[in-house]
Amino acid sequence: MTPAGLRESVARLLRGAAMRVDRGWTQGGMARDAAGCQVTPRDPDAVCWCALGAILAGRGARQHACIALSRHIGGRFFGRVADWNDAAVRTAEDVASTLRACADRVERGEL
């Protein structure tokens, strides 16, 4: 895949993750079903996702997308994204808008 193709794939994945978070967001787990039980991000019963879970539920360059998001929020490790997502002050709107802003930066070649 070309660098431009990879950027496009990562940005698409991040935007898809933002759409998942718009539908349902969680903290303290990657994904949850309608009963609030933790499930894997790709489980068909998943109805809400954390930032990382929303990325991992997608297809494509997931590792690159996770790294881009981590860098976008100022971290160096995926754990930083989980801590950021789970902060008491964080909202679903924060997460979705950050995923979209990260996608924009990836498209511009900044990440």
pLDDT(89) > 80: yes
Determine the structural domain holding residue 29 and report its residue range: 3-107
> What is the pLDDT, as a whole number, of residue 64?
95
SS3 48: strand
Specify the pTM. Answer: 0.93
What mean pLDDT comes out for the span 51-59?
A: 96
Report how many domains make up the chain.
1
- Predicted confidence (pLDDT) per residue in 5-19, tens digit: 999 999 999 999 999
pLDDT(20) > 70: yes
> What is the pLDDT, as a whole number, of residue 76?
62
What's the token pair of residue 63?
């590792």
SS3 62: helix
> What is the pLDDT, as a whole number, of residue 78?
58
CA end-to-end span of the chain, whole Å?
Answer: 17
- Predicted confidence (pLDDT) per residue in 101-111, tens digit: 999 999 999 98
